[in-house]
């Protein structure tokens, strides 16, 4: 009769990422085979779901007797690790002197932080990162204003909405100050807007959440943390399987995410410009007569579009610092029709341009949205 193996319990983890992180403190292991049995990790296994069982062995040298038993539930991802003749933890993880030191000065790296109207978060940023600028998320600002819409009389809702949108689209600090004074003065004269005017001034002008205008950030900078929340859902779906982790495995997981995204960028043979794809209808080609070239240089040309927008195009670099436009659209998303028109006028191959010859006309009878940009 074979003697029963007395496995020594080592740890219970909640995911493969935590398991991989745990085994970094031991020499490399190899597993020859995997079994699939009814799960004994879960106390209630009425569904008779399975668990995977592995028996990896240590490869530090040929005569090493270290063995491991790894049982992973296929339903909950909970994993139990046991071993025989277990190695001691490697010194590189126990002794911090053996760890490579990567010093990152966050005070110099982080220039902008986009948050919602969370006072505790804002106070922490002001305390820890005093030189970083707090950018108020535009989506959450609109959401908060909608919650306080009862303070706006129904007759003034459209006027107030347009005023706030035009305030956001200002392109300079001076322009914002002038427009702010004019709008607040107008609101005070309108009947029933006193409470909303006080709320708006206190919450969105005289507070840490006052930086929600386009000129507060570089062109194309995301002024909403909604994309971050959307990307978080991708991480949960593809990397964590919506499981909870301890702090250290989380950093290991983020390293994998960054490595994956970096490889996508490195696979391209050219530098990716800070601009999104632009779909332009052929109907816009008829408006190229509004484009005038006013200055020609060695590397860059200057154009005037529609008599009021100045466009600077550097043929060697399409980043927002070298190729830009003075309109509010460009400040918002780092692309605009004026820039594309100038590229078409001079036959410049701007990256990301797509053409469509058919434009479907909407049959909706809804009111057309007014201009959101700053009125010239």
Judge whether residue 344 has pLDDT over 50.
yes
> Phi then psi for 275, rounded to 5 degrees?
-150, 155
The larger pLDDT score, comparing residue 104 to residue 76, is at 76
pLDDT digits (tens, 9 = 90+) for 8-64: 888 888 877 778 878 877 888 887 777 888 888 887 777 778 888 988 888 888 888
Q: Are strands 309-314 and 324-325 parallel, antiparallel or unpaired?
A: antiparallel
Cβ atoms within 10 A of the Cβ of 21, count? 19
pLDDT value of position 375: 46
Cα dihedral 266/272/276/280 (nearest 10):
-120
In sequence order, the 6+-apart residues with CB closer than 8 A to the CB of 204 are 136, 141, 210, 212
Residue 360 has pLDDT above 70, yes or no: no
Cα dihedral 249, 254, 260, 263, rounded to 10, equals -120
Q: Where are the alpha helices (DSSP H) in the chain?
A: 16-22, 91-94, 106-109, 119-128, 138-147, 157-168, 173-189, 194-204, 226-235, 247-266, 328-333, 337-345
Render pLDDT for 261-305 as a digit per residue (tens, 0 to 9): 664 444 444 444 444 445 555 455 556 678 899 988 888 899 998
Q: Both tokens of residue 312?
A: 């600077």
**pLDDT one-digit tens code per residue, 295-342:** 888 888 999 988 889 999 988 888 888 888 988 888 888 888 888 888
Local confidence band at 203 (pLDDT 50, 70, 90 cut-offs): very high
Given this model, what pLDDT does residue 64 score? 86
3-state SS class at 195: helix
Grade residue 78 by pLDDT with cuts at 50, 70 and 90.
Answer: confident
> Given this model, what pLDDT does residue 270 score?
43
Helix (H) or strand (E) holding 57: strand 57-58
- Mean pLDDT, the chain, rounded, equals 78
Cα distance between residue 90 and residue 22, in whole Å: 11
Q: Cα(27)–Cα(23) distance, rounded to whole angstroms?
A: 8
User: Residue for token digits 């436009």?
Assistant: 325
Confidence of residue 93 (pLDDT cuts 50, 70, 90): very low
Annotate 126-156 with b (16+ C-beta within 10 A) or e (fewer). Answer: eeebeebebbbbbebbbebbeeeeebbeeeb
Q: Angle at CA 296, nearest 5°, toward 292 and 297? A: 155
> pLDDT-derived band of residue 178, with 50, 70 and 90 as boundaries?
very high
CB 87 within 8 A of CB 66: yes
| Token pair recorded at residue 146 | 């909608």
The stretch 79-105 carries a mean pLDDT of 62
């Amino acid at each position: 009769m074979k003697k029963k193996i007395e496995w020594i319990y080592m740890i219970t983890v909640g995911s493969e990422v935590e398991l991989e992180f745990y085994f970094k403190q031991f020499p490399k292991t190899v597993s020859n085979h995997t079994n699939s049995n009814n799960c004994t990790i879960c106390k209630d296994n009425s569904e008779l779901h399975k668990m995977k069982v592995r028996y990896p062995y240590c490869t530090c040298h040929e005569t090493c007797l270290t063995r491991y038993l790894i049982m992973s539930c296929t339903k909950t991802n909970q994993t139990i690790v046991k071993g025989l003749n277990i190695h001691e933890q490697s010194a590189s993880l126990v002794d911090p002197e053996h760890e490579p030191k990567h010093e990152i000065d966050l005070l110099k790296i982080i220039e902008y932080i986009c948050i919602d109207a969370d006072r505790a978060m804002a106070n922490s940023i002001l305390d820890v990162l005093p030189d970083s600028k707090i950018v108020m998320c535009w989506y959450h600002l609109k959401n908060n204003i909608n919650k306080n819409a009862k303070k706006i009389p129904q007759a003034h809702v459209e006027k107030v909405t347009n005023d706030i949108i035009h305030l956001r689209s200002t392109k300079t600090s001076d322009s914002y100050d002038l427009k702010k004074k004019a709008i607040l003065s107008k609101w005070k004269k309108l009947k029933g807007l006193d409470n909303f005017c006080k709320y708006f001034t206190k919450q969105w002008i005289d507070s840490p959440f006052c930086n929600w205008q386009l000129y507060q950030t570089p062109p194309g900078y995301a002024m909403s943390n909604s994309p971050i929340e959307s990307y978080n859902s991708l991480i949960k779906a593809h990397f964590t399987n919506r499981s909870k982790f301890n702090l250290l495995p989380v950093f290991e997981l983020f390293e994998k995410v960054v490595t994956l995204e970096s490889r996508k960028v490195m696979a391209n043979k050219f530098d990716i410009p800070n601009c999104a794809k632009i779909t332009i209808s052929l109907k816009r080609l008829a408006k190229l007569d509004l484009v005038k070239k006013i200055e020609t240089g060695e590397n860059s040309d200057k154009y005037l579009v529609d008599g009021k927008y100045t466009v600077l195009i550097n043929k060697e670099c399409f980043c927002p610092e070298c190729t830009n436009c003075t309109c509010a659209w460009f400040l918002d998303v780092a692309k605009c029709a004026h820039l594309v028109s100038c590229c078409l006028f001079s036959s410049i191959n701007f990256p990301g341009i797509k053409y469509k010859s058919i434009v479907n006309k909407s049959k909706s009878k809804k009111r057309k949205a007014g201009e959101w940009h700053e009125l010239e």
